[in-house]
Structure 1
Amino acid sequence: MLLFSSNAAAQSIGVCYGQVGNNLPSAKEVIDLYKTNNIGKMRIYNPNQETLQALGGSNIELVIGVPNEEIQSIANDVSSATNWVQNNILKYSQNVNFKYIVVGNEIDPSKDATSQFVLHAMENIYTSLASSNLQNQIKVSTAIHMALLGSSYPPSTGAFSSSSISYITPIVNFLARNGAPLLANVYTYFAYIGNKQDIPLDYALFKQQGINDVGYQNLFDAQLDSIYAALEKVGGSNVKIIVSETGWPSVGEDSATTGNAATYYANLISHVKSGNGTPMRPGQAIEAYLFALFDENQKPGAATEQHFGLFNPNKSPKYQLGFL
């Protein structure tokens, strides 16, 4: 069984519930799966009403997304933000444990015109929450990916790229003002397959300890600290990072194997559970969301995209993971 049996770890580890598949179980079955495995945190990418209804009374902490395609209307019309909060938050807030609202996922300002609307949409969602005095209980943020960094190695030189800095800086200022974290999708897998000549597989899998020339024990910490260094350079030294996605695929190319994925997830869970933090943030608990609950057979892109699941669609576990 894939059992998340440590309370301390369960408080730090969540699982992303992607739904891009036509063979997935019902939302009620999914909530039961989270409960059975003592998974206390969930991330969803849109306000799926069936999921929100099924979450009622579960006490699972929820990260809920504002889909990229809805950002512009929410930014341009405060009533649109008010309606979104009313229909997807306030309607369920008595029974659902909302933690973060994520306005957009992996928006690239060099490629996506939606980027110009993200901050204003965040502000409008925040204002709508504040009208119900929920702005301190539910934090508003966005989720970035590593491509926004122009420099990431060594981690202390981490900096946002010239094409992203005007986008991210006011967002970081918003987060700092409101005591909200920045969400970041951190994949050692993508870094590894993009630079196999310089990155050992074992370093990406938490297996190669103490050999790195800048003092890092694993690639995950190095990636995370490169974002912390970038945040410091734009006034976000007090902004915490939540790892909103991290995972390893089991099918699709030569390093995407069940064995490597099982190793990555088990070692990541152990690392988070240790409470050691990272070299730049020693002793600071890491909150991380594993991607993803299921293999998703309708995800576009490379074959690996369909095989990040911890469980098969029939709810059987793919890996023997546990907290020992």
Structure 2
Amino acid sequence: YYYKQVTSPHSLGILSRSEPPSLGRFRRGYDRAIFTPMLKFLRDTKSPFMVNPYPYFGYSPQMANYALFKPNRGVRDTNTGITYTNMFDAMLDAVHSAAKSVGYGDVDIVIGETGWASACEYPACSVQNARDYTTNLIRHVNSGKGTPLMPNRRFETYLFSLFNENLKPGPTAERNWGLFQPDFTPVYDAGILRNGVRVSLISAL
């Protein structure tokens, strides 16, 4: 049989528990009724499970380096003894643990979107933080190191977003996730220049 791949993105709100990563679990009631048959379908069709991890939403001044892939003391998973040095890996491993707990830890994971707001009313937002997160993310996912529970993996990853959405309503952050302004001027250089020419489209890393 020939299967076409199909998937749908999920926020990490699907988890009832994400810390420590080794004990990540889906929300009770959804685990067996929704995610078990969904993951079976994805396995059967050789399709990935798509999630949207956002360390941005877990930011605190004390955990800034941990969220931005910068040097830090790390956070220890007391169940496995593994010390995590970035929040992104911890989030992915929590999803992996949740899938494994219902028998589908072998289903591939794809990052449907992740990013960092460059402007808002809170300390997390700045052009520097957005640049640091994006450039460090690109370096990390391209390294092929994977995560502690999924070693030697290069995750297919999509950035949110290409452009700032200047007409979008709501808080300032909602309009400032892009690599470029709507007029194509860069918000910051994320390391996607090629021979001095800015790449017109960047999605998959």
1:217 deviates by 1.2
Q: Give distance in 2, aligned partners of 1:171 and 1:301.
A: 33
Q: Give distance in 2, aligned partners of 1:171 and 1:187.
A: 23
**Structure 2 equivalent of residue 11 of structure 1:** none
Q: Give distance in 1, aligned partners of 2:41 and 2:168.
A: 32
1:172 deviates by 0.9
Q: Give distance in 1, aligned partners of 2:160 and 2:112.
A: 9
Q: Is the 8 A contact 1:182 1:239 kept in 2?
A: yes
Q: Give distance in 2, aligned partners of 1:239 and 1:171.
A: 11
Identify which of 287, 290, 294 aligns with 2:159: 290
Seen in structure 2, the aligned counterparts of structure 1 residues 300 and 148 have a Cα distance that, compared at 3 Å, is farther
Matched, 1:161 2:45: no
**Structure 1 equivalent of residue 198 of structure 2:** none
Q: Give distance in 2, aligned partners of 1:164 and 1:299.
A: 32
**Structure 1 equivalent of residue 67 of structure 2:** 204
Relative to the length of structure 2, the TM-score reads 0.84
Matched ranges for 1:212-227 at <5 A? 212-214=75-77, 215-227=83-95
Q: Give distance in 1, aligned partners of 2:76 and 2:19.
A: 11
Q: Which amino acid aligns with 1:202?
A: N
Q: How many aligned residue pairs are there? A: 186
**Structure whose residues are more often helix by fraction:** 1
1:177 deviates by 1.3
Identity rate of aligned residues, in percent? 40
Q: Is the 8 A contact 2:93 2:149 kept in 1?
A: yes
Secondary structure, aligned partner of 1:139: coil
Q: Give distance in 1, aligned partners of 2:168 and 2:99.
A: 31
Secondary structure, aligned partner of 1:276: coil
| Residues 170-224 of structure 1: per-residue CA shift (max 9 Å, x gap) | 11111111111011011000122xxx38x61110000134432231110000001
Seen in structure 2, the aligned counterparts of structure 1 residues 276 and 301 have a Cα distance that, compared at 3 Å, is same
1:303 deviates by 2.0
Q: Give distance in 2, aligned partners of 1:310 and 1:209.
A: 26
Q: Is the 8 A contact 1:269 1:323 kept in 2?
A: no
Relative to the length of structure 1, the TM-score reads 0.54
Secondary structure, aligned partner of 1:299: coil
Identify which of 201, 220, 241 aligns with 2:109: 241
Q: Give distance in 2, aligned partners of 1:152 and 1:271.
A: 21
Secondary structure, aligned partner of 2:7: strand
Q: Give distance in 1, aligned partners of 2:169 and 2:138.
A: 28
Secondary structure, aligned partner of 1:141: coil
Matched ranges for 1:1-324 at <5 A? 135=3, 138-165=4-31, 166-192=33-59, 196=60, 200-214=63-77, 215-252=83-120, 253-322=122-191
- Which structure exhibits the higher relative contact order, with contacts defined as CA atoms closer than 8 Å and separated by 6 or more residues? 1
Q: Give distance in 2, aligned partners of 1:299 and 1:184.
A: 23
Q: Give distance in 2, aligned partners of 1:180 and 1:248.
A: 27
Unaligned runs of 5+ in 2: 78-82, 194-205
When structure 1 is superposed on structure 2, of 223-232 and 158-167 the one drifting more is 158-167
Q: Is the 8 A contact 1:145 1:186 kept in 2?
A: yes
When structure 1 is superposed on structure 2, of 298-307 and 229-238 the one drifting more is 298-307
Q: Give distance in 1, aligned partners of 2:115 and 2:190.
A: 14
Secondary structure, aligned partner of 2:9: strand
Unaligned runs of 5+ in 1: 1-129
Q: Which amino acid aligns with 1:206?
A: F
Q: Is the 8 A contact 1:221 1:279 kept in 2?
A: yes
Aligned-pair Cα RMSD in Å: 1.9
Secondary structure, aligned partner of 2:84: coil
Q: Give distance in 1, aligned partners of 2:73 and 2:40.
A: 35
